[in-house]
A = this chain, B = another copy of it.
Amino acid sequence: MVKRKTPMLDELEKGKWPSFVSDIKQEAESRNETDVDLQTPKEVCDDLLDLLELSFKDREGHWKHGGIAGVFGYGGGVIGRYCDRPEEFPAVKDFHTLRVNQPSSYFYRTEFLRKICELWERRGSGLTNMHGSTGDIILLGTTTPQIEEIFWELTHNLKQDLGGSGSNLRTPNCCIGKSRCEFACYDTQEACRNLTMEFQDELHRPSFGYKFKMKFDGCPNGCVASIARSDMSVIGTWKDDIRIDQEAVQAYVAGEFKPDGGGFAGRDWGPFDIVKEVIDLCPTHCMAWNGKKLGINNRECNRCMHCINTMPRALRIGKETGASILFGAKAPILEGAQLSTLTIPFMRMEEPFNEIKELVGKIWDWWSEEGRSRERLGELMQRKGFAKFLDVCGVKADPRMIKEPRSNPYIFWKEADIPGGWERDIKDFRKRHQK
């Protein structure tokens, strides 16, 4: 408290949006006053603020590159971090992060959270990220000796394991799904948990060439962004017809129900116009409205969700539900960003999820065999070609997997498919064709 002088950071206490600076300060104060038997430096929050202030001043970060830290027997779950000015900021000299595997879709009982808080106040910085981008509860900053202690308490007292980091399966994640969403086409939370449990070994013990992520979205709205951030994106969908409640449609048209569940209420967009707002925006133009009845040519629907999103009280997803499975999303390093590519148009998603587990197995085998070090699945798919990937998955090529067929004529053939094979005798040829 005495030491801290953070004029720049103090600026970030102003304004309405919750200030992380104020929050760190309140934690700093709490640490100064607490009776808890702190196992980490009391001044950790003070030093962190001072160090951040220095970064603001320098316009350069002040953490050293990486650093080894971890728990015995695991290869992931801990990110080592050391300050590059340890003498000036001794309380954050080592400031390692723990990634704690969140329960599916971030539901908590306060009892559990309070235990985490108690543990983390005592043995860590008292600072967290709720949550990290992958999904973990991020315990932000502790010293090297504390790591095993924390792990022991986590597993024994909280019955809670770490998540992933390094070249392994990363902590899977899912949208809220059936817990509270009427659009969920399968149980994302159970799928996420079930696969997390199945692959504990892959999650904890790096045996891959690089990271592998899986995320579970209950429907094409994509609330957990799986299509952009996971090597395997499992996205709910359905095969049969959208269920229509014609009376409820009328209620929307009459203005009794607000479109999009009221999500546009902040502005006067005029009365709801079903033709302009639904029929005309349907990307497949498979909807019709005759003033009385809404028609959907379900065979042509691509299940984009727009009509259902707009009139959730009138339209419901089909009953024959499952998921589309897409592969290969990743951030830009190295070959440029990728979105996941549709590979399995439809798979049923039911416990014990054997079909998807087998599929994952095949893909991991191939990736392990063919993938270069630090090559994401998506990059391998690009390098080897999508047709090869389909082979690996044991799936037949289908136009649904592409936006459009190739425009170049550079087609590879298998020798077996060519009558007479590839080997020819030039002498034979020369009999027909002089040189």
Contact of A60 among B58, B409, B433 (CB under 8 A): B433
Chain B residues, Cβ within 8 Å of A408: 332, 336-337
Chain B residues, Cβ within 8 Å of A84: 432-435
Closest to A335 in B: B408
CB-CB under 8 A for A60 and B432, given A337-B408, A407-B337: yes
Is A62 an interface residue when CB atoms closer than 8 A count as contact?
A: yes
Whole-angstrom CA separation of A277 from B332 in the bound complex? 43
Q: Does B64 lie within 8 Å of A432, measured CB to CB?
A: no
Chain B residues, Cβ within 8 Å of A410: 332, 336
CB within 8 Å of B: which A163-207 residues: none
Q: Does B432 lie within 8 Å of A58, measured CB to CB?
A: yes
Contact of A434 among B86, B332, B433 (CB under 8 A): B86
Whole-angstrom CA separation of A38 from B317 in the bound complex? 80
Whole-angstrom CA separation of A410 from B64 in the bound complex? 24
Chain B residues, Cβ within 8 Å of A58: 432
Chain B residues, Cβ within 8 Å of A409: 332
Q: A84, A337, A432, A433: which has the most chain B beta carbons within 10 Å?
A: A433
Is A85 an interface residue when CB atoms closer than 8 A count as contact?
A: yes
Chain B residues, Cβ within 8 Å of A337: 407-408
Chain B residues, Cβ within 8 Å of A432: 58, 60, 84
Closest to A82 in B: B434
Whole-angstrom CA separation of A433 from B83 in the bound complex? 9
CB within 8 Å of B: which A273-309 residues: none
Contact with B along A127-150 (1 / 0, CB 8 A): 000000000000000000000000
CB within 8 Å of B: which A68-119 residues: 84-86
- State the Cβ distance, A431 to closest chain B Cβ, in Å: 10
Contact with B along A36-51 (1 / 0, CB 8 A): 0000000000000000
Q: Does B64 lie within 8 Å of A434, measured CB to CB?
A: yes
Closest to A434 in B: B84
Whole-angstrom CA separation of A222 from B266 in the bound complex? 48
**15 A-B residue pairings within 8 Å (CB atoms):** A60-B432, A60-B433, A64-B433, A84-B432, A84-B433, A84-B434, A84-B435, A85-B433, A85-B434, A86-B434, A332-B408, A332-B410, A336-B408, A337-B407, A337-B408
Q: Which 5 pairs, one residue from A and one from B, show the smallest C-beta to C-beta distance? A: A84-B433, A84-B434, A336-B408, A332-B408, A58-B432
